[in-house]
Amino acid sequence: MVPRLLVCALAASVIGLASPASAQIYVSRDAGGTLVLSDQPVDGAISSYAVRNSAVRTTRAVAADVGTSWDEVIEAAAATHGVRPELVRAVIQVESGFNPRARSNKGAMGLMQLMPQTAAGLGVDNPWDPVQNIHGGVAYLGSLIREFGDEVLALAAYNAGPGAVNRYGQRVPPYRETQDYVHKITRRTETAPVARSGRTVIYKVLEEVDGQPQWRLTDTRPTSGRYEVIR
């Protein structure tokens, strides 16, 4: 969703145009990652929209296009992979501002900013295809939620990698970027302490019994030792 203050500012700007018949809206992001709309060309603008009719209705249309274009795909992917759709929307907003052509300086691509290796592992042939990108990103996010049993840790792993979360004792790593990332998303949607897939997360834990390694199953996430998530 485009922040209300930006929409209001844009409305005031567009209202001042000489003719309400046609306008061009340019979309970019500032240094803090906030979506910025303007009726003037912007260096590095990520998208533009041809806008017609009245200024007020135009502003609402732009906001809707940015935030709701992929609702059906998001709902389908969320249902398939057991992730709350509102969490998916928050991730996409922070990752790309709903720009399917977004590319980071590290090479992450599309709406959910998939890295090439991650996309390949998820079976995403074309990360620039919004449908593939969303389904791949949601599948990955869902796997992290099931692995960590916690949406906050899953978000941290989505940003910094599961290895980083594990290295810091299954806590959000003390990286400024990751902490800011988690904060931006959690302030947009409530987070859940357990997976929302409708199933209990089962862990396969390796323990030593009478000097012999032995696996056992538990629904409590281990705090140390070797284990696997089996569902």
Q: What is the pLDDT of residue 13?
A: 43
Which two three-digit tokens encode residue 30?
Answer: 């500032």
The CATH class that applies to domain 71-186 reads mainly alpha
Read off the tokens for 127: 């990360």
- pTM for this structure? 0.58
For 39-95, write each residue's pLDDT tens digit.
Answer: 666 555 444 344 333 333 333 333 334 445 789 999 999 999 999 999 999 999 999
Cα gap 14→121, rounded to integer Å: 45
The span from the CA of 211 to the CA of 207, in Å, is: 9
Q: What is the mean pLDDT of residues 164-170?
A: 94
pLDDT, tens digit (0-9, with 9 covering 90-100), for 108-143: 999 999 999 999 999 999 999 999 999 999 999 999
Half-sphere exposure of 51 (CA within 13 A, CB side): 31
Q: Domain limits of the chain?
A: 4-68, 71-186, 200-231
Catalytic residues: 95
Supply the pLDDT for residue 19. 40
User: Nearest CA to 67 among 96, 102, 106, 40?
Assistant: 96
Predicted local distance difference test score (pLDDT) of residue 5: 41
Conformational region of residue 24, where left means phi above 0, alpha means psi within -120 to 50, and beta covers everything else? beta
pLDDT value at position 129? Answer: 96
The two structure tokens encoding residue 82: 């057991």
Q: How confident is the model at residue 193, as a pLDDT? A: 43
Mean pLDDT score of the chain: 74
Tokens of 228: 């696997």
Joined together, the tokens standing for residue 100 give: 């399917």
Q: What percent of the chain has pLDDT over 90?
A: 48
Mean pLDDT of 156-180: 95
Contact 223/170 with Cβ under 8 angstroms? Answer: yes
Residue partners of 6: CB distance under 8 A and separation at least 6: 34, 35, 36, 37
Q: 16 and 45 in contact (C-beta within 8 Å)? A: no
The two three-digit tokens of residue 144, written as one number: 């992290």
E strand spans, the chain: 22-29, 35-38, 47-52, 203-209, 212-218, 227-229
